[in-house]
Amino acid sequence: MKYLLPLLCCTIFLALAASAQTSGEKIDSAAFAQIRDEGMNRSGVMEIESYLADVYGPRLTGSPGYVRAADWAVSKLASLGLANAHTEKWGPFGRGWDLKRYSANVIGHQNFPLFSYPKAWSPGTGGTQTGEVIYFDATTDSALATYKGKLKGKFVLLSDPRDIKAHFLPEATRDADSTLLDMANADMPQARRGGGGGGGGGRRQMDPAAKARAIVDFEKLEMCQKEGALALLTISRGDGGNIFVQQASVPAHPDTPFTKRVSAWDPNAPKILPQIAVAAEHYNRLIRMIKKGESPKIEMNLEVSFNKADSVANIFAELPGTDLKDEVVMIGGHFDSWHGGTGATDDGTGSAVCMEAMRILKTLKFSPRRTIRIGLWGGEEQGLLGSAGYVKQHFGETVDGKVTQKPENEKLAVYFNNDNGSGKVRGVYMQGNDQVRPIFRSWLKPFKDMDASTLSLSNTGGTDHLSFDAVGIPGFQFIQDPLEYDTRTHHSTMDVYERVQEDDLKQASVIMAAFAYQAAMRDEKFPRKPLPQPTRAPGSN
């Protein structure tokens, strides 16, 4: 019986693959079946994931941890027999940052460890510091004045408290059929002014009340800095002891243009105070204690190191092509992560899926017509910096709404990205390119029994396919089940190996390998959208 079941599954798979031929897009049914068998029955994806999450851990851009993990990834890709495994610099970036030691305890009538985590690029405390906790409860200019002279040597609670509700809905979900249907029925997205590609000179206008509050918040930070507070504490998103933590902030007046603002990793950033994200329940408790007349203190030791990181690197390796070897199909995800957890689902999963896809193709000794290249990106969390730098170096850039392409641009056939957590692939965002619909429909038909069949014209943002899409290269992100991505793991201390779903990663690896191979074997060029037209200044001809 154990031999009959795999044979039956393979027969069903080949029948589904054969049906895809009717759409006019040729697929290699035998190759798809081999990819599926290798990826589902002899997978190495969780081993790769464990090395990334457990052995190398968080991979903050520019940090020593990122460099160590990148060196391992290059070595691993080379050990698989892939060609040209290497890193390529995209910097300069700024300062690297590494967390060496952290402890924080509330002391007083009651003593307890404070559930909290330092923000990246926060300075250290210069040894163990002890001080009173003060709630800086000021929302107006007049209220600010009441705290003048009271902040020196204090641990300052900056955020408002937040209500915590019971969780009646599940933390993890899969996309419902109705959700996928809505995505499939989405209209063509509207063209973006300026050609897209991350950024732009405009910004949303704040209403007067929001701006007034933003000015007060800026003045609070300035007052804390000038008076010599010990550290700034803010309430974390989420609850249940989970802490969502990203970078320390550099105070900026609301009227400061975004292009003029300085990030904490910038080597020329002004001096800032240590900044700590605190679990919501402990943050709320401290405020309640203070309001009831208690005077809690905090004992804190934060030790960090800054290192020069003038250049940071992306990671590459290739499966060389044959008759069309000068043309390239790329797959990728971002390699960097935040520092609170181990970057397991953001985006260790995407990196592991792509590495596993390359392993599958190499193990099966396929000889694709086009070269298949893996790219793992740094600096995604700081604004797609690694992929944008690579695209600018090799393929082109957008300046003032006009796309300038380099000769290599026409040689890059297509780019596929995986960066939405651990969820299985449910389909593809087509980024407004309806020409790819019959192609992807054919490629997905053999995976319908794996729940991957949805094609959406929608754009999806926030990850590295946008860097390619912005210069006219077909770039796509897969639709993935959300699972716990937004509720539990995205940029949090619980972004760890245990939150990774093995079967979903196997399925995603198989589909990534199949898409890369099929794109590499096509006779025709991959369809491209028209380049965005540059915008004109008002009144120009």
Give per-residue pLDDT as tens, 346-383: 999 999 999 999 999 999 999 999 999 999 999 999 99
Both tokens assigned to 134: 């003060």
Q: Is residue 462 part of a domain?
A: yes
Q: Is residue 440 part of a domain?
A: yes
Q: How many residues does the chain have?
A: 541
Q: Is residue 25 part of a domain?
A: no
Check residue 311 and give its pLDDT.
Answer: 82
Q: Is residue 396 part of a domain?
A: yes
- 341 lies in the same domain as 259: no
Q: Is residue 32 part of a domain?
A: no
At a CB cut-off of 8 Å and minimum separation 6, what does 358 contact?
A: 77, 80, 82, 317, 319, 331, 372, 374, 513
d(CA 392, CA 408): 11
Query: Which of these three, 307, 336, 365, is where a domain ends?
Result: 307
Q: Is residue 176 part of a domain?
A: no
Q: Are 214 and 254 in contact (CB under 8 A)?
A: yes
d(CA 161, CA 332): 40
Q: Are 371 and 68 in contact (CB under 8 A)?
A: no
- 217 lies in the same domain as 351: no
Q: Which amino acid is at 451?
A: D
Residue located via tokens 């929302």: 139
- 244 lies in the same domain as 160: yes
Q: Are 360 and 120 in contact (CB under 8 A)?
A: no
- 105 lies in the same domain as 82: no
- CATH code for the domain of 144: 3.50.30.30
Check residue 534 and give its pLDDT.
Answer: 60
Check residue 18 and give its pLDDT.
Answer: 44
At a CB cut-off of 8 Å and minimum separation 6, what does 70 contact?
A: 59, 87, 313, 315, 335, 376, 378
Both tokens assigned to 356: 């596993």
Q: What are phi and psi of 269, to 5 degrees?
A: -65, 140
Helix axis angle, 349-363 to 64-79, nearest 10°:
20
- 484 lies in the same domain as 413: yes
Secondary structure letter of residue 523 according to DSSP: S
Q: Are 485 and 422 in contact (CB under 8 A)?
A: yes
Residue located via tokens 């404070």: 114
Q: Is residue 540 part of a domain?
A: no
Question: With a cut of 70, which residues of the chain have pLDDT below it?
Answer: 1-23, 190-204, 533-541
d(CA 381, CA 484): 19
Q: Are 4 and 319 in contact (CB under 8 A)?
A: no
Query: Which of these three, 307, 342, 376, is where a domain ends?
Result: 307
d(CA 289, CA 293): 7
- 328 lies in the same domain as 381: yes
User: Minimal CA–CA distance to 329: which of 250, 439, 425?
Assistant: 439
**Residue 292, Cβ neighbours under 10 Å: how many?**
7
Q: Which amino acid is at 412?
A: L
Check residue 13 and give its pLDDT.
Answer: 46
User: Minimal CA–CA distance to 369: which of 520, 539, 143, 146?
Assistant: 520
User: Minimal CA–CA distance to 43: which of 515, 519, 501?
Assistant: 501
Count of structural domains within the chain: 2
- 329 lies in the same domain as 292: no
d(CA 14, CA 364): 18
d(CA 275, CA 12): 56
Write b or e for each residue in 401-415: b if 16 or more Cβ atoms lie within 10 A of its Cβ, otherwise e.
bebeeeeebebbbbb
Both tokens assigned to 330: 């790329």
Residue located via tokens 């019986």: 1
- 134 lies in the same domain as 280: yes
β partners of residue 104: 300
Strand order in the sheet with 324-334: 83-89, 313-319, 370-377, 324-334, 412-417, 475-480, 425-429, 454-456
At a CB cut-off of 8 Å and minimum separation 6, what does 81 contact?
A: 362
Residues spanned by the domain of 424: 59-93+310-521
**H helix runs in 133-185, sequence order:** 141-145, 177-184
Q: Is residue 11 part of a domain?
A: no
d(CA 460, CA 479): 9
Helix (H, G, I), strand (E, B) or coil at 173: strand
- CATH code for the domain of 405: 3.40.630.10
Q: How far is CA 202 from CA 136, 193, 209, in A?
A: 32, 11, 20
- 384 lies in the same domain as 472: yes
**Residue 393, Cβ neighbours under 10 Å: how many?**
15
Helix (H, G, I), strand (E, B) or coil at 309: strand
- 77 lies in the same domain as 158: no
- 120 lies in the same domain as 78: no
β partners of residue 507: none
d(CA 317, CA 327): 15
d(CA 71, CA 189): 40
Residue located via tokens 């307890």: 112
d(CA 492, CA 496): 9
- 301 lies in the same domain as 330: no
281 burial class (0-12, 13-18, 19+ CB within 10 angstroms)? middle
